[in-house]
Amino acid sequence: MLHAAARWSPGLAAQVKPALLPIIAAASRLAQFSPRDFMLMHWQLARQLSSKTGAAGRLTRAAAQASAPGIGARAIGNRIIMLVVSDLWNDPRVEREALALARAGYLVEVLCPDLANPEGSKPVPEWGEGITIRLIPREAASFCVERPGFIAGHMFDAAMKVIGPKPPLAFHGHDLNTCLAALAAARLTGAHFVADFHEWTSENVHWDPASQAWQPYPEDWKAELQALEARVLREASAVITVCDSIAEALSSELGAGRRVHVIRNIPTLSTVPTKDYPPLKAQLSLPESQFVLLWQGGTGPTRLIEPIIRALEFAPNCVLVIRGPSLDIFGDAYRAVAATAGSADRLILIDPVTSRDVVVAARGADAGIWTLPNLCRNFTYALPNKIFEYTASNLALLVADYPEARRVVDTHSIGLTFEPYEPLSIAAAINRLINEPGLAESFRANTFAALKSIDAEGEWQKLAALYDALPRALQAESRS
């Protein structure tokens, strides 16, 4: 029934599903319960439905309310409310955007569920003057794991609570999962709505319990996501994404030619780290002569790090350092892969550093490596911040042979590509850097010209310019 509804009306199916799923699930299990258990389940289900129809209902009604002032109709001032579900302590893009806007004179408020483990165990991040971060209860993020993944009712409620007597200039939705909430809040208040697609969600993957693997979205779920993406492209005051390939595809396939602005996730060289770091080899007490390859970033099944570890068997003079979150979860599996490859003594796992420190903490490695599995266009079109961070750290680059990553390393002559699933291909690239020191040194020397050409400061000024161009007050008829 729900699958048919998704094909007929993806948006409607996405809105009613949060309320229907508990009923369907409960009905299928009724025969398993005693009368007492049934009454308890009935009470729990009533609470669950009340919660979902409460926050989720307010959100979906607001997103459809015909009498609302409308997006941008009452936009004034310089206040921007950002909605995001993220590990803010390790999210450089959100921080860089907030800093760029604050430097341009905007007041930025970031609303984010507290994803610290355990909740409340980390201090609220401090990003500087003009930026306020409000951590809201973790349960506000629970919608992310419930199909369709964007009925962010509690985040919508949180956004409406902080508005105050005057509407903000804009609600800024980071990723599709917060865009419906940001869109609805903007419609109700007359503020602008800026959509910021860090990922191309409908072309991403989800965890499939049946196959116990990450898989592209099934067609009916994908239809729900595309319905919201298309609505965002129609109604947003401006739409941002991270690279040309995704921008062009969104515009042509879902946006009827609507312009999608590209703001690449490039580290600003003027960012002040939280502390000084010695070179990476000194941090790890490794000799200067040791070739060190750095993976710095997320870990886990969607990162395809295992072939890199297996490549150590064929690159015996390389030490691989993995620095990232969740190694308490995935680290043992990585160690097992290294042991099987006979390379356990050449794999080093270390904790992540704060996003402000990633560039300086990586300096002193010989090369940085990046890859993703070829599961979806969101992965193969990726232009990750890690590529720019390695460049700013003066490292040679080794990247999976995908279009955007290849374009960067080839255009600026700062690294090599490899086949992401082939340990021998990865090892061949590593060994070229080791055996041809002149090549590696030329790549590192070219990073300086690459950074100048990439122009990090100019990239983030594009975001401020986009906000400067948003119409104020009642002059919001045109769209960026």
Q: At how many degrees (to 10) do helices 456-468 and 437-454 cross?
A: 20
Q: Are the CB atoms for 440 and 391 separated by under 8 Å?
A: no
Cα–Cα distance measured from residue 239 to residue 234, given in angstroms and rounded to the nearest whole number: 10
Other Cβ atoms less than 10 A from the Cβ of 335: the count is 15
Report how far apart, in Å, the C-alpha atoms of 479 and of each of 238, 263, 292, 471 are.
7, 18, 48, 9
Residue 51: its pLDDT value, please?
44
Closest CA to 170 of 462, 479, 456: 479
Q: At how many degrees (to 10) do helices 244-253 and 219-235 cross?
A: 90
Residue 235: its pLDDT value, please?
98
Which amino acid is present at 340? T
Which amino acid is present at 145? V
Cβ-count burial 46-63 (b if 16+ within 10 Å, e if not): eebbebbeebbbbbbebb
Q: What is the mean pLDDT of each run of 10 residues along the chain (480 residues)?
A: 44 47 41 44 44 81 93 97 95 94 98 96 96 97 94 97 94 99 98 98 93 93 98 99 98 98 89 93 98 97 97 99 96 99 98 93 98 97 95 98 98 99 99 98 97 91 98 60
Q: Is 7 left (phi over 0), alpha (psi -120 to 50) or beta?
A: alpha
Specify the 3-state DSSP secondary structure of 223.
helix
Closest CA to 90 of 269, 296, 387: 296
- Altogether, the residues listed in the chain come to a count of 480
Cα–Cα distance measured from residue 408 to residue 266, given in angstroms and rounded to the nearest whole number: 12
The angle at the Cα of 446, spanning 442 to 447, to the nearest 5 degrees, equals 125
Q: Are the CB atoms for 338 and 346 separated by under 8 Å?
A: yes
Residue 42: its pLDDT value, please?
43
Task: Tell me the whole-structure pTM to 2 decimals.
Answer: 0.83
Residue 79: its pLDDT value, please?
98
Q: For strand 396-400 and strand 367-370, is the pairing parallel, antiparallel, or unpaired? A: parallel
Residue 271: its pLDDT value, please?
79
Q: At how many degrees (to 10) do helices 35-51 and 10-27 cross?
A: 160
Cα–Cα distance measured from residue 190 to residue 179, given in angstroms and rounded to the nearest whole number: 16
The residue written with tokens 């951590």 in the block is: 135
Specify the 3-state DSSP secondary structure of 361.
helix
